[in-house]
Structure formats: C-alpha cells, structure tokens
Structure 1
Amino acid sequence: MGNTRAWPVLRTTDLAAALSVAERLLSTAAWYEPSDCYLDAWARNDDDLRRLADTFPGAQVTSYGTDGIGLPASVHLGVDTFVQVRGALRAWADITRGYVLWHNLKWPSVPELGLGEEYKYAELQIACNSHDIHCEEWAAEHTVFIHARPGDDGRAAWLAAQVGARVVGPPEFGW
C-alpha cells in the first residue's frame, strides 16, 4: 500500500472554472464510478457547523475536540452525481474550507510515456478555499488536484494537457 501524489493543475477564484476542469478530467478517465465521491468540510466555530449541517441535513458530523466532543468538526457528505457535487461544493465554499474527492476511477494509459492504466492511485480532487489537499490553510483560490502514482509526473501533465490545463506547482504527498 502506498500513498498518491497530488499535482495541482488549476488554481482559481472561480469555482465554476474549477468544477469545469474537474468534469473534463473525469471525462478523460478510462472509467469512474460517480457515486464513489464525497465532500469533506471543516467547521471551526459553531456558526460554520450549524450552516454546514443545515445545508445538507444528511451529512455526517465527526467532532475532533477534547474527548471527541466539540470543535473542530468534520462534516462529510457522500454524493452520487456531478450535479450534487456542484450544488454542495458551491454551498459549502461560501462557508469554509473543504474538498471533494473522486476516488473510484481509472486514469487511461499513456503509451507515449510508457504508462499503463492506473487505478490504485487514481483520484481527482477540488480543494475549496485552499492550496493544499488537506485544506489546512485558507486561500482565496480553489485548487484542482490530479492524484496519481508517485513518480508519474508525466501522467499528471498529460492529463492536465488533455483539458487545456497544466501542472501549476510541485506535487504533495497524498492519501
């Protein structure tokens, strides 16, 4: 078992642009399961927690405060369609930092780079209001990340080029 590497391929203040790039990247996948997608957001105060939970009453809340009680709290929502992703991410991005992760997909082979299809390390992510995959630091921009096998810099660049994007920073250690 290993960890992915996550290459940022777009940083923008326009959430619609980030969603568009993600949707186009998903269309380049050899396949993906739309229902294997979830959103996570962090509530660091009571108002954020209330607003996140009120937006989607079915969301799961996990507290990380003292003895598992209180703040901060993670709000987790499973989604089945890109339309649901778009609505949830827009709502949550107005409240706090968070991300959406598609994790059951397969990147296509890239014969010219000597790369076969990739399933184990293939993921796609949008980090809202953050430049890092864990959304630890607030930023005015949203970041689209391509997750792939460590060392597959060429795959990330190739995938980004397929949708008119490019790698815009060094990779992070992924999940």
Structure 2
Amino acid sequence: MTETLEEERPISVPSFGVSVQGMEEKAGETLAYCVGDYVRELSRYINLERLDGVTIAVDYKEALLAVDRGYETDFRLTPSSELVEGVAMAVSVVRNGVLKSHLVLNAAYIYSLPYEDDEHYAHSLHLLAHECAHVELTMTTDKAFPDALLKKIYDDVADACEGQAYHYHLAYMSQMELSL
C-alpha cells in the first residue's frame, strides 16, 4: 500500500473568507492570508467542507457577539473565563438550511502563525488545527444525528438527557436498518 503524498490529498474546504478586526491593515492582511493558507492545508487532513469562514479579532469577546449565526437565539456567545480563558471558538451557524461552523480566533493567540521562528508559532498552529477539528466534529455529528444540533431546547437537565438519549437511539436504529 502506498502512502498518499500531501500534494495528492484533496483540499476539502470550499471557498471561504477570512476577516480581521482591530488590527493594522498590513499585519491583518498578512495574518489573514496565512490563516487561509493553513486552513486549506489542514483541510487535506481534516474535513472542512462545512467551514463557513474565519474571523480573527483583537476584541474576541465582541467578535463572538457579532457572529451572524443564521438563526434566532437569545443565547449570547461569551469566551470561557472560569478555569481557562477562551481564545477561539468554532461557532455553529446555519447557512441555507445547512449546519456549518464559523471560526472566531483571538488575534493575540494566533498572531505568530506567519512567523515559524516565533516562540509561540506552534501554539498558534495547534490552536487553529484544534478549531478546525471542531468543524469536522460538528459536521460529523450533524450527519450522524440529523436535526439534533441547535433544534431542541429542554426545560431541565433530566429532560435533556432523556430527550437526547431517545433521539440518539432512534438515529442509531435507523443506521442499523440501513446497514441490514
């Protein structure tokens, strides 16, 4: 069996935009192009067909609040601040009826990506790859359990557990029937 060379692996990400907020124009442009290039390369290994786009922001908290999620919700996205500080998120969005993910990245934690010799380069690359993995995970979950994500709001934890278990059981049984 021959190993597929990197150049032979298909790029899975569709056309997408990278926006930069709050940075000097030249630095922002450099970072945007770099992130775009890395996302395309990562898509050879991580399925990013449902990537909606990428936002890099100096004001990460404000950028999360500004994401057009494509559906009505009163839930306000906020970065984690308890045990760890949230610095990136793969936000679930709906575009033309399809569940996708939009990456929002804190510029302070991704800025070193264009500079491979920077001491924080590896962390920046890991952060980007980690968020890309969330894109594939959300897509895979949505395909395995259609209409489960972003659909049902439960009154309490007990109802949520019961409802999700029932929904996953139905989806599993449907998959079993298909494979017979």
Shorter-chain TM-score range: under 0.3
Q: Scaled by the length of structure 1, what TM-score is found?
A: 0.28
The structure richer in strand per residue is: 1
Larger RCO (alpha carbons 8 Å, 6+ apart): 1
Q: Scaled by the length of structure 2, what TM-score is found?
A: 0.27
